[in-house]
Each structure stands twice: as structure tokens, then as C-alpha cells.
Structure 1
Amino acid sequence: MQSATGVSRIRPCDEENLDLQSPPKVESQKIDSDGRELNIVSWEGDDDPANPRNWPATVKWGNITIVSLVTIVTPLASSMFAPAVPQVMAQFHSNNEELASFVISVYVIGFALGPLVVAPLSELYGRLIIYHISNILFVAFTIGCALSSSIRMFTAFRLLSGCVGVTPMVLGGGSIADIIPAERRGTAMAIWGSGQLFGPVIGPIAGGYLNEAAGWRWIFWTLAIIGGVLTTLGILLLRETYAPVLLKRKAKKLRKHTGDPSFRLSIDEQVSPLAYFKNALIRPLRLLFTSRIVFFLSVDVSIAYGYLYLVFTTLTYTFEERYGFSSGVAGLTFLGIGTGMFIGLVTVSAYSDKTAQRKSISGDLQPEDRLTPLVPGAFLIPIGLFWYGWSVAAHIFWIVPLVGTAFFGAGLIATFVPVQMYLIDTFDRHAASALAALTILRSVTGATLPLAGQKLFNALGDGWGNSLLAFIALALTPIPFLFLRYGERLRSGISTS
């Protein structure tokens, strides 16, 4: 059936239409540990319609849209509940301030735990089944929050919701990379990545008004309804995009129909699923602590992400106390950050695609080209913090500090999106593990840093408190310059085995 000298190039999809009468093309050969010849299944040329990169644009953007919407909803749940914390604590007869902060941050702790399981499972079984299971569980755990009868029950469901809600944040970037070539994925990556930041911004605004109108339980019922709709759309429209899994399924189909055990995705396919899972399970943590690329970029993003949640926990209080805003109006102050994020999103996505397309024409596109927006982003964050902190301290007209938060928001996008694109371009098939490592560190920071926020500002005031944060951000400004200059050298020594 096959030549003794080649790689079998078989279409990985349309299994029902597999032509078993025609011998597969074989171009090269590999030998396993027992000396047996293997026929390695791969794409049927660069224009193979089964390759997700060659899907119609409508199918590609349908997948991207659903994943991006889910990536807004699950981070939305992290902060939408924040304005209703006093009502929840009162209903459960607790006045513990630390516990009140913990019921918010415990969700983000789930963001740190979930990637340890989600990333390896996706590399073993594909992205689609993990999306479906996580979406269904997110809806179920969110309903559990709405029906909770004690603070312990409520906290447990919040943690579980975070563990499964992190899935689109870990896998979304990889899904986009599966179907969009590097030179055209800037816009898609920016839209998907910004959802992780826009969600927490929109949350307090919607949650404040919903809590006033219908009570805190309806915040979770609303999230469950939205999550249920997106879960249904996902089941109907999402498709598997992870090439190794698609090819592995095709190889299995060929072995079954031909009786020839030599069809394989690779020699590595002979590793047992349990051994593969164990290796993939520790890969995110190994990348985080042994890869200088992942560690330093994760630190950079995590500080910015922690600042975002720290600002979230103090912004409403600041404008209520300093400017006399009502709780509903104070929620609208988050639009300052949102406006900056939108400007950053448009700018970063346009620049990234334009640069990537120009570089790809000349054949000189490098992952480091993604990191250029990090340079202005590194300075926009401290500028925004200085501006916001000292204008509030001086009681300047309320729109002035909001302009400062807009600079901060733009800096967040200019930091967050380029780093994710860089990790995806650098780690390729193990992009989910690299993003999982990033998500773990930033989630731990986002969950713990806000716990000290109010004490920080009580001790130092708004001016010097925000200035301290800005000085730390300034200390991180060399990172983008170092990666722009030495990134290629660092990538040369990468190992993800």
C-alpha cells in the first residue's frame, strides 16, 4: 500500500470520504524504537482544505468570535459581582473585611489553578472537547453561586467557576494561531486578548446597576444565561482546530480501515496518554521557572494585571469618597480605563498586522516584531498611574484623573496583547502551555495584590500610593528593550519537551 521510502500525506478530515482504494502518497520514512517502518500522516499539500488554516473565512471568524465572546464573559464574572459584596456579606451575616475581599479574589485564584489541567488536556485531546466541558461546567458553577445558601458554599462555587472559566484565556490564543497565519493574526489576537481586560472593566458597571435593580443573585443568573447561550452556540458552531489531534484521528482511522499499524502522527504518538499527560502537566510550570522568555514576560504582564485589579478594588471607593459620586455613577468611572483599552486595541492590532504583512513579504518576520508596542506600553502605565494618583490627591475636576486611567488602559493593551502573540509565535504547538504559565503567574498576582490596595492608599495617600506602583512599573521598562535586542538569541535555546 505504501512505498518503503516516505511520509504518508493523508487528508486529516472528511474521514467518511477517505479513499481507501487509492494508495496514499509516501515521501519519506521513519523507524520506531523496534525498527519498524512508520508512515507519518500529514497535510495533503499547503492548500489542503482539511487544514484549519485553509478553512473559509466565515468558518474561521465564526470560531474566533465565539471564543472571544466567551473570553469576555468569564473575566466579566471576576468583577461583575464586586459592587454587590456588601449585600452578599450582609445576607450571610458576616462583617469580615478580609473575607469580603477573598470572595472576589478567589475567582482569580481559580484562574491560576485551572491552566495546570486545561493546557495538558488540550494538547492530549484537542481544544474543542475542553471548550465544551469547561463552558458547561462554568454555567453549572455559576448557577451554584446564584443558589448558594452559605458563604462557604458561595466561595467554593466561585473558586470552581474560576478554574473552568480560565479555559478560553488559555486556549484562545492557540485556537487563533491554528487557523490564522502569523502575518494576519494581529487583529484577531488583539480582539481575543482585550476581552480578558475589557470583561473586568465592564463588570462593575453592569453589576452595580443590576444589583440595585434585582439583587445580587441576578448577577449570577445573568452570567449563567449568557454563558448558556454561548455554550449552545459553541456546541453548534465550534470546530476542532488543533492540527496534531486532527492528524492523530486520521492516522487512527487509517489504521482501523487498512489494518496497517504503521500509520502514525509521529514516533512520539507511541508514548502512552498517561505519560504524555504527566509531561504536559508540568510543562507550564517548567516553562515559567526555567524559560527566561516566559518568566520575564510573565512578570511584566503580571505586574500590570495586578495593578488592573488593584485599581478595580479602589476606583469606586475613591470617586465615592473624593468626589461624592453615587455607587451607580461611580461604576461609570471604569469607562476611563475602557476608553484607553479601546484606543490601544485599535492601535496595536493595526500596527501588528501592518508590520507582520510587510515583514512576511520580505521574508524577515520574526516573533520579536510583535514586541515593539511593549515600548510605549512600558511608559504609558506609569504615566497613567502618576496622572491618576496626583490629580485625585489634588481634587482636580473628576475628568482629569479619568484621562490618567485611559493612559493606564492603553498601556495595559500595549503590554498584554504583544506578549501573548510573541509567546504563541515562539512556542507554536506548545503555545497553550506557554499561555498557561503566563496565566498562572498573572492570576496569582491579580488575586493577591488587590488585598493590600486599600491599606496601601490609606498609608501613603492616592498620590504617593500610585507613585509607588508607577516607580515599580518604571523599573520594568528595560524588559521590552532587552527582548527586542536579545530575543532571537534567547529563543535559540528553547526546549519544550
Structure 2
Amino acid sequence: MAELPIKDCPGARATGHNTKAERIQVTETLARSSPDGDEQRNPRNWRPRKKRLLFLALMSSSILADGGMTWGATLIVPQALEWGISVNKSATTMNYGMLLQGVGGLMAIPLIEAYGRLPVWLWPQFITTFMVLGATLSNDYGVFTTFRSLQGLFGTVPQVVGLPIIHDMYPPEEWSQMINIWGTTFLVGPFLGPALAGYIGAASDWKVSFGILTVFYGLSTLLIFCFGHETYFVPGRQCQRNRRLLSMFGVRNHNVPAGPTLLYWCRTMLVYIFKAPLLLTGLATMVNFCWPIGITVTVSTFVAEPPYLFNTVQSSSLRWAAILGALLGWVYGYWFNGWVGRSSPTTYYTEKRLHGVWAAIVAMACGLLTYGLTLNYGKHWIGLAFGWLMVVAGMVASTVSITSYALEKYPEQSTVVSAIINAWRTASGFSVGYFQPAWIQRDGVAAVFGTQAAVVVANMILTITPVIVMGRRKAARKATLA
């Protein structure tokens, strides 16, 4: 084999143009010249305490991504009164932010891959803190909505960077369990955030509530600054330890491959968006999130009217049903992914993880029917709580299964996979706030939620089934050839 050029440091640093064989030789050369270097710098070999603290910082920012975006859902009535607008218009302050969450996630892909996880995680969180502060100090609907939209654009990064960090720090056999924990963290946010916001707002006013949210973002940024580390690691590419402060600015990030450019990652993102498995599971995710987010942004309007007449505290407390549902979805996802992981290697194929969606989708459909019929006939609020609980439990369980599958299917593209799933999810969350109120007014609550239940079931059958069938056939062909 031809001798490789020596650059930057002893042991050679691989470039983006080396062949696979050359990269292997570089890795072996580096390992011989620095026996402990790669092993110590590999995030999978970090001390457990270092991993736990970094993961804590990740969860603190992830729970704020959606939790901070839906923070004002229980405060729309006092805001509408202060600004002199309708309650329905006040509820739209979150919509553009939800849309820009998906846009921001896609924009983050090339930056994360070109400059590293840490800088693209830290600085948008820092900027988001000031966007929330701007919303807190706003005095009219237009200015408030602008800052909230920018909050969504910058604040979505933790939902994208989490998957690659998990990929970097943990071995493949631990991915599904860590995704389950991380995913539940940011999925419980849309329900925990409004609950806390409502309690604080009831005791003071909406500005104080958003001031507390600003403090939460500041604390999260501080945790990232204190415990965040660059996790991007390619064996054989790193020639010296990163200076942590410089890596925060994306400078001298020797972990990051030198070859791929921003344009390369933009092209890669477009290619993966239209890969059949990701396209179909993305459509499934979009529909799964549409209806739970619809409940989240409209439930305060419904329960403020007869026969419920809930005040802010009661409306906030109702959201604990959704929080409990998210935790139940986490328990199911933890058990199911553990069970699938213990499958026999001879019969295992990646698409088996998608079988976790079937029980989840039954729970969602039953929950939508329970919620819609309770609301339609004005029955006891416990029916609303129980229906919402089932919807959220199904949403979390199905999302964890889909995300675990996607990472295991394309482990080399963890950032791209994470951003694509995030974009599908937030696109539906953005749209539902616009069409659902008019739909309910035209056709009635029972018809709307009954249709939603039918759409959920049909969507899963039409999108997930083909992916499972394709995966099973591919596994069978491999077994035959072996």
C-alpha cells in the first residue's frame, strides 16, 4: 500500500480524499503511535460521570425545545384580554415558531457536521435565551409573535443534536434505551411547559411566567457551557486533544472530518429526505404529532367554555394527564425496545423495532375517540383527561420506535435522520392550529375527532407496513445468500 502523507502531527491525519483502505491504515498507524490516545478521546470510553452530566445538559435543553415553545398555551386568555384580540388569534402566537422549529433543524444539519456538535448546540441555546427575554418584554401581539417565532428557529437544535450525541457516546446496543429517555424528555415538554406556565401566570401575570422561562433557558445554557463536550469522533482523524473553549466556537475541532463541506451536507440531507424508509416513517410521524399538538394548543379554549369553565390553574392541572401519558409511553418504549433487542440474531432485522407502533396506534385512536366524544357531549372532564392520556402515550411510544429504527437503519447519518424526523413532526404541529378550529366549527367535535382516529390508523397501516415488509424481504434475501 502506498505510504500516506504525514500532516499536522505524528501518526497522520486522514483527509476527506483518502480511500477506505488508506483510512484503515491511518487508524492503525495512529493507534500504534498513540496507544491510548484514540481510546481516551473516544466519547464511548468517557467516564460515566462525564457522560451523565453531558446527558443532563442535553435533557435540560431538549425539554425546553417544545416545552418552551408551548409555554404560553395556558396564557392565551389573559394575553388576548391585554392585547384586545380574540382568544383564537392569541393562540396563533406559537404557530410560526413551531414551523420554524422544523426549518431550524434542517438548517442545523450542515453546521453540526461541518463545525461539530458543541458549538451548534451551545450558541443557539444562548441566542434563544434572549429571544425569550424579548418575548417577555413585548407589549403587543406582533412583537411577541416575532420573538416567539425566532425562539422556535434557534431553540430547536437540541431536538436535532440529541440523536448524534447519543450515537457518539453510546454503543449501538444502548441506543434505543438512551433514545427512549431523551425522546421522552422533549416529548413531555409540550405538556409540562404549559402546566408550569399556567401556575406561575395564575399567581402573577403572563410576563412573570415568561420571565421564569427566560431563567430556565439561562440555566440550560450554563449547563451546556459547564458540562458540554464535543462528541464528534472519527478514529484516526484526531491528532491532539481539543482545547474545550476553542471547540465551543468550532475552532480547531480536530474530531470533525476535514473533507465534507456545507454543500456536501445540504446535498446529503436532500437525498435522505426522499429515501423510502425515511419518507414513509416521516409521514407517519407527521400524522402522529398532528392531533396531539392540536389538543395541546386548543384544549385551554375548550375548557374555558361551558360546561367546564376552567380557570388558569384548572386548565394547567389538566395537562398532567398528558404528562402521565408521556411517561406511560416511555415505559412501553423501554420495555418493547429491550424485548426486541433480545431477539435472536438469526431472526432479527432492524424493521422489527417498528412493530412497537401497533399497540401505540390503538391507544391513540381510542384516546382521540374518548376525548372527542367527551367534549362533544359535555361529559365529565375525566373523560378529556383519560382520552388525552391515551393519545400522548401512543404518540410517545410510536415516536420512540420510529426514531430507534431510523438511527439503527442509518447510523452513519444520525444528524440528518434526527433533523428530518424533527421537521416532519414540527410541520404538522404548525399547521393544525390553523385548520382544526375551523374544521370543528364546520363539522362538529365528534366528527372531527372520529375522523382523526381513522386517519391515524390508516396512516400507520399505509406507511409503516411497507417499510416492515421491505425490511423483512431484505433480511430474508441476506439469510438465503448466507
* Residue among 250, 255, 259 paired with 2:239: 250
CA distance in structure 1 between the partners assigned to 2:191 and 2:17 by the alignment: 54
Whether the aligned pair in 2 keeps the contact of 1:186 and 1:350 (CA below 8 Å) is no
CA distance in structure 2 between the partners assigned to 1:137 and 1:416 by the alignment: 28
Matched, 1:336 2:326: no
What is the match of residue 434 of structure 1? Answer: 417
* Residue among 220, 229, 245 paired with 1:230: 220
Whether the aligned pair in 2 keeps the contact of 1:142 and 1:158 (CA below 8 Å) is yes
Whether the aligned pair in 1 keeps the contact of 2:41 and 2:241 (CA below 8 Å) is no
Identity of aligned residues (%): 20
Matched, 1:73 2:64: yes
Whether the aligned pair in 2 keeps the contact of 1:30 and 1:37 (CA below 8 Å) is no
> Any idea what the Cα deviations from partners look like across 1:350-388, whole Å, max 9, x if unmatched?
3213432x24x7476542232221121122211111122
Structure 1, 130-139 or 367-376: larger mean CA deviation: 367-376
> Matched residue of 2:239: which SS?
helix
* Equivalences, count: 456
What is the match of residue 50 of structure 2? Answer: 59
Whether the aligned pair in 2 keeps the contact of 1:107 and 1:159 (CA below 8 Å) is yes
CA distance in structure 1 between the partners assigned to 2:112 and 2:393 by the alignment: 32
Matched, 1:348 2:339: no
CA-CA distance at 1:30 after TM superposition: 11
The TM-score, its normalising length taken from structure 1, stands at: 0.82
What is the match of residue 287 of structure 1? Answer: 272
CA-CA distance at 1:101 after TM superposition: 3.3
Whether the aligned pair in 2 keeps the contact of 1:375 and 1:480 (CA below 8 Å) is no
What is the match of residue 387 of structure 1? Answer: 370
> Matched residue of 1:40: which SS?
helix
Whether the aligned pair in 2 keeps the contact of 1:31 and 1:38 (CA below 8 Å) is no
Whether the aligned pair in 1 keeps the contact of 2:102 and 2:426 (CA below 8 Å) is yes
- Matched to 1:85, the amino acid is I
CA distance in structure 1 between the partners assigned to 2:359 and 2:178 by the alignment: 21
Whether the aligned pair in 1 keeps the contact of 2:26 and 2:236 (CA below 8 Å) is no
CA-CA distance at 1:193 after TM superposition: 0.7
CA-CA distance at 1:230 after TM superposition: 1.6
What is the match of residue 280 of structure 2? Answer: 296
- Matched to 1:314, the amino acid is T
Q: Cα–Cα, structure 1 residues 475 and 124, in superposed 2: closer, same or farther, change >3 Å?
A: same
CA distance in structure 2 between the partners assigned to 1:78 and 1:31 by the alignment: 42
CA distance in structure 2 between the partners assigned to 1:249 and 1:29 by the alignment: 11
* Residue among 426, 429, 437 paired with 1:454: 437
Whether the aligned pair in 1 keeps the contact of 2:78 and 2:206 (CA below 8 Å) is yes
What is the match of residue 479 of structure 2? Answer: none
CA-CA distance at 1:98 after TM superposition: 6.1
Structure 2: runs of 5 or more not aligned: 243-253, 477-482
> Matched residue of 2:293: which SS?
helix
Structure 1, 133-142 or 44-53: larger mean CA deviation: 44-53
What is the match of residue 412 of structure 1? Answer: 395
Matched, 1:154 2:150: no
CA-CA distance at 1:184 after TM superposition: 1.8
CA-CA distance at 1:139 after TM superposition: 0.8
CA distance in structure 2 between the partners assigned to 1:31 and 1:141 by the alignment: 41
> Matched residue of 2:40: which SS?
coil
- Matched to 1:40, the amino acid is V
Matched, 1:481 2:465: yes
Whether the aligned pair in 2 keeps the contact of 1:183 and 1:353 (CA below 8 Å) is no
* Residue among 416, 437, 455 paired with 1:472: 455
The TM-score, its normalising length taken from structure 2, stands at: 0.85
CA-CA distance at 1:37 after TM superposition: 10
CA distance in structure 1 between the partners assigned to 2:65 and 2:46 by the alignment: 27
Q: Cα–Cα, structure 1 residues 315 and 32, in superposed 2: closer, same or farther, change >3 Å?
A: closer
* Residue among 79, 82, 88 paired with 1:88: 79
What is the match of residue 326 of structure 1? Answer: 311
Q: Cα–Cα, structure 1 residues 441 and 231, in superposed 2: closer, same or farther, change >3 Å?
A: same
What is the match of residue 397 of structure 1? Answer: 380
> Matched residue of 1:372: which SS?
helix
Structure 1: runs of 5 or more not aligned: 254-263, 493-497
Structure 1, 296-305 or 187-196: larger mean CA deviation: 187-196
* Residue among 182, 185, 191 paired with 1:201: 191
What is the match of residue 261 of structure 1? Answer: none
CA distance in structure 1 between the partners assigned to 2:475 and 2:284 by the alignment: 18
CA distance in structure 2 between the partners assigned to 1:111 and 1:342 by the alignment: 24
What is the match of residue 140 of structure 1? Answer: 130
> Any idea what the Cα deviations from partners look like across 1:100-138, whole Å, max 9, x if unmatched?
233111211220220122111001111011111111111
Matched, 1:305 2:305: no
> Matched residue of 1:243: which SS?
coil
RMSD: 3.4
Q: Cα–Cα, structure 1 residues 490 and 160, in superposed 2: closer, same or farther, change >3 Å?
A: farther
> Any idea what the Cα deviations from partners look like across 1:40-95, whole Å, max 9, x if unmatched?
3478489923211122222222222211121001211121112222333444x442
> Matched residue of 1:323: which SS?
coil
What is the match of residue 248 of structure 2? Answer: none
CA-CA distance at 1:225 after TM superposition: 0.8
Matched, 1:373 2:356: yes
CA distance in structure 2 between the partners assigned to 1:441 and 1:192 by the alignment: 18
* Residue among 94, 110, 113 paired with 1:104: 94
